[in-house]
Amino acid sequence: MKRTDTKTLIEAARVLARDINSDDGVANAALVEIADRLEELKEDELYGLSNMVRNICENRGWDSRAKIETAVLSGELHPRAKPKVRWYGKISHAEVCQWLGVNSCPHCNRPIK
């Protein structure tokens, strides 16, 4: 099943908040808050990365998409990087490459699974 994109979810929550007839208004308020929080998340530059990968990157000072992309392309952020990036392996690398839109490893040209 294909996941719905965030923009569509935000719009749907706002439409539901407007159209639902809730006696106490709690459902409407909850839907508005859901839409607001989704918008905040979407504005986050590292949106889409797991917490573990986000922490790895932020602890190394890679706190933006551009810095992470530079680290991947330079080999600093790679499962076999020297010095080793702790807790960063093939699965984390695949996640980062997919997030960046890279289909194959820039170092070995293997397809990212």
Query: What are the residue boundaries of the structural domains of the chain, listed by start?
Result: 6-43, 51-100
Contact 27, 20 (CB under 8 A): yes
Q: Which residues pair with 111 in a beta bridge?
A: 104
Q: Is the peptide bond before 111 cis (omega within 30 degrees of 0)?
A: no
Residue 49 has a pLDDT of: 94
Per residue in 37-71, pLDDT tens? 888 877 788 988 999 999 999 999 999 999 999 99
Q: Chain centroid to CA 8: how far?
A: 17
Angle between helices 65-74 and 90-100 (to 10 degrees): 120
Tell me the residue type at 38: L
Per residue in 80-101, pLDDT tens? 998 999 899 999 999 999 999 8
Dihedral sign of CA atoms 104, 55, 77, 42 in order: positive
Cα 54 from Cα 62, distance rounded (Å): 9
Residue 1 has a pLDDT of: 72
Residue 77 has a pLDDT of: 94
pLDDT band at 106 (very low <50, low <70, confident <90, very high): confident
Cα 99 from Cα 110, distance rounded (Å): 17
What is the 3-state composition of the chain as percent helix, strand, coil, each rounded to the nearest 5? 55, 0, 45
